[in-house]
Amino acid sequence: MSLHVPVLTAEVLQYLRPERGGLYVDCTVGLGGHSRALLEAGASRIIGFDRDADALAIARETLAPWGDRVELIHADYRSVAQELEQRGIVSIDGALADLGVSSMQLDLNGRGFSFQRDEPLDMRMDRSSGDTAADLLATASESDIADAIYQYGEERFSRRIARSIVDARYVEPVTTTGRLASLVRRAVPVRGYQRIDPATRTFQALRIWVNRELEGLDEFLATLARHLHQDARLVLISFHSLEDRIVKHTFRGLHQGGLGLVVTKRPVMAGDDELHQNPRARSAKLRVLEGVA
């Protein structure tokens, strides 16, 4: 497994200002990289959430030196506000959500996120519940599959790909990453040089579909904003245009409604030095909302 390097860490620290101390919520703690940086910079306490139990196990090791200053919870980020309220926490000093899939999830055998290996087509971030990608491809209609690939992957050949998948499953269920990638590549016309593998957008779309990544994102942001005390900040890192668009419009609506202040008029992106060291940061976009309560 390759080393996971959290993206835009310097910018996260710049905007969240953990040197002032206080309680910070890491809504997608992942392997613990951003939380560790916050604690090292002065955060008094971290509550971290993640729906991936494998990631949480690693985060517990990463953050073990801070002992009871860290509480890690196996839960989807959309339940963060509910979990805070159950603990009697009304306001927080800052929050972070990094919506990207981690290097561990991409690289670990058996997760099914990548077409670099032939393995079971799972793609669930929380493997304790929900349908796998193979389940969805086995039961969804051709039109639903096409719509998901088009909407979440912005793939213009989505209907051809969906037809190929449905035709193939009559012969044998599509249950592995290798078979799905092969079906997609055959369905997508090849015209000259291709910058990315033809299966890339379809795999992204299925991951978003399986994990309901865009569902309730706007409501989550609005609810979490209400937990920010005055001048506390919410930092959101997204990795594709669909997520960023939701974040942008939600933050703008909260700003116009007097429920927050947009700190970043444009998304903050990685500089050349970080891109050289961590190419996966290329698509990361960071936006910041400041509390007004």
Q: How many CA atoms lie within 13 A of 211 on its CB side?
A: 30
Band of the pLDDT at 1, cuts 50, 70, 90? Answer: very low
**Domains of the chain and CATH, by start:** 9-99+214-290 (3.40.50.150), 114-211 (1.10.150.170)
Residue 252, pLDDT above cutoff 90: yes
The H-or-E segment that residue 150 falls in is helix 142-153
> pLDDT, tens digit, for every residue of 64-121?
999 999 999 999 999 998 999 999 999 999 999 999 776 666 667 788 998 989 999 9
Averaged pLDDT, 26-45: 96
Q: Of the ranges 92-101, 160-169, 193-202, 255-264, which one carries the lowest mean pLDDT score?
A: 193-202
Q: How many CA atoms lie within 13 A of 15 on its CB side?
A: 24
Give Cα separations from 293 to 55, 134, 159, 259, 261 (angstroms).
33, 45, 47, 8, 11
Residue 37, pLDDT above cutoff 80: yes
- The amino acid at residue 70 is V
What's the rounded Cα separation, in Å, for the pair 156 and 76? 31
The H-or-E segment that residue 223 falls in is helix 217-225
DSSP 272: H
What's the rounded Cα separation, in Å, for the pair 155 and 68? 46
What's the rounded Cα separation, in Å, for the pair 115 and 73? 30
Q: Which of 33, 148, 39 is nearest to 102 (CA)?
A: 33
Determine the pLDDT at residue 2.
Answer: 43
What's the rounded Cα separation, in Å, for the pair 49 and 153? 26
What's the rounded Cα separation, in Å, for the pair 279 and 274? 8
Band of the pLDDT at 175, cuts 50, 70, 90? Answer: very high
Averaged pLDDT, 52-63: 94
Averaged pLDDT, 28-34: 93
Report whether 250 contacts 221 (CB < 8 A). Answer: yes
The separation between CA 10 and the C-alpha centre of its own chain, rounded to angstroms, equals 19
Other CB atoms within a 10 A radius of the CB of residue 242 amount to 19
Determine the pLDDT at residue 289.
Answer: 98
CA-based torsion, 34, 208, 263, 267: positive or negative: positive
What pTM does this model have?
0.91
Only one residue has tokens 């835009």, namely 8
